[in-house]
C-alpha cells in the first residue's frame, strides 16, 4: 500500500493483546510507557521495534527480563534511525530472494534526547534516503533516563538539572525545537504530532503512518511525572492541558499538506498548564512573570502560524 487513507479505530476495535507487557520498571504514570503500548496496539504482532537508549529501553529490558513481545533491538542513543534503515534494506533483500513473504512493520522509538539532539543526524539521513519505517519520538522534554538534563525539546523556563532555576537563570533560556518542521523539510510522506491523552488520534496516526511507502515521523508528547514534577495520577490531565492551552498543537502533514486535528477554539491560558508542574514553580514568582507572558505570546504566534499552514482563517 502507498498509504494516505484514514484508518479509524474505535475503543471497541482495539485489540485486547498487548505487545509491551507488565513487569517493566517504568515509573508509575509514565507517559512514555503509555505511548509505546498504544503504538504497538496499533501496529500489531508483525512488527520489529528499534529502541534507542533511554527510559523506554532501560526500564523494559532489565536483564534477563524483557517486556517486549515482538522482535526488538536496543541500539545506541544516536543511531535508531540508522539501524531501522538497515533492517528495512535487509528485508528488501530477503524479499527479493523469496526468503521473506510477509512485510513487517518497522518502528523506531527514541526519546527527545535521542531524537532532537543526539539522533537528529541519523534521522535526517534516513528521511533523506527514503527508508520505509515509522519513527516515533516519545517526548518527555528532557534527558530523563540520565538525570533530568535539558534537551532541545525542553520548553522555555523549565527547570532541569542542567538548566536550574536560581539567581543566575530562571530555568531553560531557549525555545523548544520544531521537530516536525525539520521532518517536513525532508519532503517525507507523513509527519504528525500526537499526545497520549488523545488515544484515538494517536493510535489512528500510527496505523496511518505505517501504510505509507516511505519514512514517517510521529512526535508524541509523553508527560513525565518525575521530571515535570506532578502526581503520577495526573499524567493524562497534564497532557490534555498541553493541548488545550495550545502549547502542544495536534496536527499532521501529509505530502506537505498541513491539517489541524484538534482545533482548540477556546484555549485555556498557559498559566493553567504551568502552575500544576513543579518544573515551572519558579515562574510563578513575581520576578519571573514576564517569562509566562513571553510563553503565552509565543503560543499565540505559533498557533496563528499553524492555522495559516492549515489554511484556516
170: DSSP letter:
B
Domain ranges of the chain: 11-309
Q: What is the dihedral angle through the alpha carbons of 212, 184, 205, 28, rounded to the nearest 10 degrees?
A: 130
CATH number of 11-309: 3.40.50.970
Query: What does each of the 313 residues of the chain score in pLDDT, given as a tens digit?
Result: 344 445 567 777 888 899 999 889 999 999 999 999 999 999 999 999 999 999 999 999 999 999 999 999 999 999 999 999 999 999 999 999 999 988 999 999 999 999 999 999 999 999 999 999 999 999 999 999 999 999 999 999 999 999 999 999 999 999 999 999 999 999 999 999 999 999 999 999 999 999 999 999 999 999 999 999 999 999 999 999 999 999 999 999 999 999 999 999 999 999 999 999 999 999 999 999 999 999 999 999 999 999 999 999 6
Distance (Å, whole) CA 184 – CA 257: 10
Distance (Å, whole) CA 311 – CA 303: 12
DSSP strand pairing (47-52 vs 72-75): parallel
C-alpha radius of gyration, the chain, whole number: 19
The CA distances from residue 249 to 173, 190, 245, 268, 300, in Å, are 22, 16, 9, 13, 11
Burial class (CB in 10 A: 0-12, 13-18, 19+), 28: exposed
Amino acid at each position: 500500500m502507498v498509504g494516505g487513507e484514514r484508518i479509524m479505530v474505535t475503543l471497541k476495535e482495539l485489540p485486547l493483546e498487548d505487545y509491551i507487557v507488565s513487569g517493566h520498571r517504568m515509573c508509575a504514570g509514565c507517559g512514555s510507557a503509555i505511548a509505546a503500548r498504544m503504538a504497538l496496539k496499533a501496529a500489531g504482532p508483525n512488527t520489529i521495534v528499534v529502541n534507542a537508549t533511554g527510559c523506554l529501553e532501560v526500564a523494559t529490558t532489565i536483564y534477563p527480563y524483557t517486556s517486549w513481545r515482538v522482535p526488538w533491538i536496543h541500539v545506541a542513543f544516536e543511531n535508531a534511525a540508522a539501524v531501522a534503515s538497515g533492517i528495512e534494506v535487509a528485508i528488501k533483500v530477503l524479499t527479493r530472494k523469496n526468503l521473506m513473504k510477509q512485510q513487517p512493520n518497522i518502528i523506531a522509538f527514541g526519546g527527545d534526547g535521542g531524537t532532537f539532539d543526539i539522533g537528529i543526524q541519523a534521522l535526517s539521513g534516513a528521511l533523506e534516503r527514503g527508508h520505509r519505517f515509522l519513527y516515533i519520538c516519545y517526548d518527555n522534554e528532557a534527558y530523563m533516563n540520565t538525570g533530568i538534563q535539558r534537551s532541545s525539546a525542553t520548553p522555555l523556563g523549565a527547570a532541569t538539572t542542567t538548566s536550574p532555576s536560581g539567581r543566575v537563570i530562571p530555568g531553560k533560556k531557549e525555545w523548544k525545537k520544531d521537530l516536525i518542521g525539520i521532518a517536513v523539510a525532508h519532503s517525507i510522506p507523513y509527519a504528525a504530532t500526537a499526545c497520549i491523552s488523545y488515544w484515538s488520534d494517536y493510535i489512528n496516526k500510527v496505523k496511518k503512518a505505517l501504510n505509507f511507502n516511505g519514512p514517517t515521523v510521529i512526535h508524541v508528547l509523553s508527560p513525565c511525572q518525575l521530571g515535570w514534577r506532578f502526581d503520577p495520577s495526573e499524567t493524562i490531565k497534564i497532557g490534555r492541558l498541553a493541548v488545550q492551552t495550545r502549547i502542544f498543537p495536534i496536527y499532521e502533514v501529509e505530502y506537505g499538506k498541513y491539517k489541524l486535528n484538534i482545533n482548540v477554539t477556546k484555549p485555556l491560558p498557559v498559566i493553567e498548564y504551568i502552575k500544576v508542574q513543579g518544573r515551572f514553580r519558579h515562574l510563578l514568582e513575581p520576578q519571573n512573570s514576564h517569562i509566562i507572558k513571553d510563553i503565552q505570546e509565543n503560543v499565540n504566534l505559533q498557533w496563528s502560524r499553524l492555522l495559516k499552514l492549515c489554511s484556516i482563517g
